[in-house]
Amino acid sequence: MGTAIFIQTLINGLSLASLYILMAIGLTYIFSIMRIINFAHGEILMLGAYVSYLLIEYYHFHFFLSLIFSMVVIGLFGLFLERYVFRPRKGEDLNLLVLSLGLAITLQSSAMLAFSPEDRGLRPIFTGVLNVQDIFISKVRLVALLAAAICILGSQLFLKRTKLGIALEAVSQDEEGASLQGIRINRYTALTFAIGCALAAAAGSLLAPIFVVSPFMGTLPVVKAFIVIVLGGLGSMIGAMMGGLILGLVESLTATYLGATIQEVSGFVLLLLILIFKPGGMFGERE
């Protein structure tokens, strides 16, 4: 019995981790090119969830189709945001902070107006549990884990294997050098932001069937994502993945074995210690 619980906890942890990683990777994309911490990332996740919700509930889209649709729609929205909200103030760190905060406030309250503040439940899609040798795995979490893993893999392959992705990495490492080589920085900034938003939308769409859809659903995940990217090191994709894995597992384990409050504190204590002793995080950039 003990092992079964342990494995269940592990899988829940992985499922949680995969969603954290999805968020964190999106934030890392955005941070590495635009050098801003996107406070509105949670609200982007929320919008992605609502898009999926609407498509499934009112247009009877298939779950995976709505996931892709949501990513595309929100990605396009991201292009708009980058061009008209953030680009005019490019390089002004504190101003960008306020912009992203203002955006978060605007999006959240607009959602409250448009959709009412209540939680909405998604009609059950992947109900039930798999029973594998006394280990109960919730189907919906498994699907989330797999879908997230695909997105994550996709985003990393994109960075490493495609021309576009490699150029993106070049720009994030050395913007001046890249622009001297003729790379059109603004295009890549826009693309990066769009990808970051699309990944957030994916996380939202995958969260929707597990929890509820509400205008406030993005606040907690974004805080967690911040912890992840700091743990892993700002700007590092591997860091985001390792950080997400660690946080997801730690949270799941402490929740099962130590109780909820300890779980919350543990994340922050971990964070503070890492920041004091290794400010760059595990795989952080050199200052």
Rounded distance between C-alpha atoms, residue 130 and residue 136, angstroms:
6
Contact segment (CB under 8 A) with other proteins among 1-9, 69-77, 206-214, 267-275 equals 267-275
Closest CB to other proteins among 3 and 116?
Answer: 116
Contact segment (CB under 8 A) with other proteins among 151-159, 192-200, 239-247, 273-281 equals 273-281
Contact segment (CB under 8 A) with other proteins among 63-71, 91-99, 119-127, 144-152 equals 91-99
Bridge-partner residues for 130, per DSSP?
Answer: 137
Closest CB to other proteins among 176 and 287?
Answer: 287
Residue numbers 58-87 binding other proteins by CB under 8 A = 85
Rounded distance between C-alpha atoms, residue 40 and residue 283, angstroms:
25
Closest CB to other proteins among 39 and 193?
Answer: 39
Q: What SS3 class is residue 62?
A: coil
Closest CB to other proteins among 67 and 242?
Answer: 242
> For 82, which DSSP code?
I
| 132-137: Cβ within 8 A, 24+ apart | 133/4, 134/1, 134/4, 135/4, 135/7, 135/8, 135/11, 136/4, 136/8, 137/8, 137/11
Strands (E), 13-109: none
DSSP 236-279: -HHHHHHHHHHHHHHHHHHHHHT-HHHHHHHHHHHHHHHHHH-T
Residue from 19, 25, 103, 240 binding other proteins (CB under 8 A): 103
Residue numbers 204-263 binding other proteins by CB under 8 A = 223, 226, 230, 234, 261
Residues found near other proteins in the complex (CB under 8 A): 37, 39, 85, 88-89, 92, 94-95, 97-99, 101-110, 112-113, 223, 226, 230, 234, 261, 264-265, 268-269, 271-272, 275-276, 279-280, 287
